[in-house]
């Protein structure tokens, strides 16, 4: 078990180093040598987990998608908003998420399959919109609206990164949702939804606290 735990920690260390290098340098300029130096591991340890720079980049893309899960809400539009706001907050605060987003938007990374995050987020948004059917205006097509939301978020976060290094992303996402959702959601429902710029931080505190409690319960259970 100790050997397995050590391997898991090493993999996380390598991915964290790769995320740092990819975020700073971009896919093309990043090198295995630089990632090795940042991670402080041997070449053998790195290649045990990842066979190439492409696999490292895919690992970062997959890791940034392992987001904390928003609890089920009675109002599905609030659940959708919370999912978007939480991702925006993690983009502000989590280097792994920032690196994954940079990779997914890096047009120089032509040999890298960057479709996963876009497809995944469109599927999540489509599912939430379908669950929210009774909260939506009659004309809404869930798949089309999901694609608009995902594409718009990608543009807003790119603008925020260039202008403020993501420091204003919460405000920009709040503005985005306040412009799009009135064309999608029943006004009576929208009046009850929290669209404030601080929503992402509140949801993060909620879900990270729940995750810590769950880990604590699992630790106590394994000891007993």
Q: Which of 68-72, 134-138, 147-151 has the lowest mean pLDDT?
A: 68-72
pLDDT digits (tens, 9 = 90+) for 72-124: 999 999 999 999 999 999 999 888 888 888 888 887 777 777 788 888 899 99
Which tokens belong to 145? 């609206």
Query: Is residue 215 scored above 60 in pLDDT?
Result: no
For the beta carbon of residue 18, count every other beta carbon within 10 angstroms: 29
pLDDT band at 58 (very low <50, low <70, confident <90, very high): confident
Give the pTM: 0.82
Q: Which of these ranges, 27-36, 131-140, 193-202, has the smallest mean pLDDT?
A: 27-36
Q: Torsion over CA of 46, 49, 52 and 53, rounded to 10 degrees?
A: -70
pLDDT of residue 177: 98
Any alpha helices (H) in the chain, and if so which ranges? 2-29, 32-39, 43-49, 53-64, 76-93, 95-105, 115-131, 142-164, 169-180, 187-190, 199-223
Which CATH class, in words, describes the domain spanning 2-57? mainly alpha
Quick one: pLDDT at residue 105?
A: 82
Distance of alpha carbon 192 from alpha carbon 171, whole angstroms: 19
Give the percent of the chain with pLDDT over 90. 62
Say what the pLDDT of residue 144 is: 97
pLDDT score, position 100: 85
Check whether 4 has a pLDDT greater than 80.
no
C-alpha torsion sign, points 215, 213, 18, 58: positive
Percent of the chain with pLDDT over 70: 90
Long-range contacts of 218-221 (CB under 8 A, 24+ apart): none
Top-confidence residue, 4 or 155: 155
| Structure-block tokens of residue 57 | 């980049």
196 three-class SS: coil
Residue of 1 and 4 predicted with greater confidence = 4
The pLDDT, as a whole number, for residue 49 is: 92
Q: What is the mean pLDDT of residues 22-26?
A: 88
What confidence score (pLDDT) does residue 140 get?
97
In CATH, what class is 76-223?
mainly alpha
Tokens of 167: 């420091």
Largest CA distance in the chain: 59
Would you list the domain boundaries of the chain? 2-57, 76-223
């Amino acid at each position: 078990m100790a050997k397995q735990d050590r391997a898991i920690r090493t993999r996380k260390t390598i991915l964290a180093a790769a995320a740092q290098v990819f975020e700073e340098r971009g896919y093309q300029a990043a090198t295995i040598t630089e990632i090795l130096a940042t991670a402080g591991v041997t070449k053998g340890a790195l290649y045990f987990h990842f066979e190439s720079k492409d696999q490292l980049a895919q690992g970062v893309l997959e890791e940034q998608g392992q987001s904390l899960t928003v609890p089920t809400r009675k109002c599905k539009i609030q659940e959708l908003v919370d999912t978007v706001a939480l991702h925006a907050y993690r983009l502000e605060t989590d280097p792994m998420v920032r690196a994954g987003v940079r990779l997914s938007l890096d047009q120089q990374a032509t040999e890298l399959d960057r479709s996963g995050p876009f497809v995944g987020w469109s599927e999540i948004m489509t599912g939430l919109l379908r669950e929210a059917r009774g909260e939506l205006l009659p004309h809404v097509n869930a798949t089309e609206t999901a694609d608009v939301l995902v594409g718009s978020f990608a543009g807003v976060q790119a603008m925020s990164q260039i202008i403020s290094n993501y420091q204003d992303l919460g405000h920009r996402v709040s503005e985005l949702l306040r412009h799009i959702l009135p064309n999608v959601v029943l006004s009576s429902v929208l009046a009850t939804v929290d669209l404030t710029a601080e929503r992402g931080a509140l949801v993060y505190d909620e879900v990270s606290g729940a995750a810590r409690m769950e880990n604590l319960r699992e630790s106590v259970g394994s000891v007993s």
